[in-house]
Amino acid sequence: MAASDELIVLNVGGRLFHTTRATLTKHPDSMLAAMFRGDMQATALRDEQGHPFLDRDPAHFPFVLAYLRDGHIPPLPQGLLELRQLQVEAEFFAMAELAAAAAEAAATIEARRQAQQELEQGRAAALRAAEAAVAQAQQELDAIAEVLAPLRAAQQEAEALQEEMRRRAIADGEDNAPEEDPAEARRFIQQLEDAELHAARLKQQMRPQLAKEESITAQLHAALLARLCALGADLPAAEAQLRATHPQLAQAAARQPMF
């Protein structure tokens, strides 16, 4: 058997590895090549069975052997800690290419984690801003609602009287309907006209407040969209959700001028 084909049993941190001298000396600048070319073999520490002993972590030595056997970078560990540990082992054995590959893979994981962390921080900041905007818009809507309360009450009264008028008209058209007192009919019509006129006048007076209400409603719609997007929804999905849950907000936003 040629010397290069000699079988070698290594004890790495208490675990035995079987290989050949040719494999161990494949990379001439490595510590293992120096050791098993004969430079250090005579002084190598050995276990009770006479196997050369290396006081290293055996968990990462299979990657070192795979690199030596195949002549290229093997599939590397997936975890950041394991990659950094492999980098240390490769540097110990003076295998620069393997150490660099482990370092690059670890750096890629760290960069991805950093990017993810920055993304999450950005989303958290956007969510806080959106929550504040929602609260502000809601507070302003509550305030404007108090100002518009007389108008809403007048509109509700007029709508109730209009509905009563429609009910009476239907009843009058039915067979055997009792004849309505003309004086009562005139009084009711006057009441309806007064209610409609009052509601119309209030609406005219409160046009600035109504415009402000619509503007704030659109702002609330935008803030709710921003909150949903900060929580991970894309814009089309967020808009669809708001159309389903807050249709009046979507309508107000659509009525706002774009410029």
Give the domains, in start order, of the chain with CATH numbers: 3-109 (3.30.710.10), 124-172+181-255 (no CATH)
pLDDT of residue 170: 77
Helix (H, G, I), strand (E, B) or coil at 52: strand
**CA 57 to CA 55: how far, in whole Å?**
7
Name the phi and psi angles at 47, rounded to 5: -85, -170
- DSSP designation for 46: B
Supply the pLDDT for residue 156. Answer: 94
d(CA 82, CA 96): 17
Nearest to 93 by CA among 23, 175, 153: 23
The DSSP 8-state label assigned to residue 105 in this structure reads H
d(CA 254, CA 259): 13
Model pTM score: 0.60
Phi/psi at 173 (nearest 5 deg)?
A: -85, -10
Per residue in 74-100, pLDDT (tens digit) is 999 999 999 999 999 999 999 999 999
Stronger pLDDT, 42 or 34, i.e. the higher one: 34
Q: Which two tokens stand for residue 223?
A: 């803030």
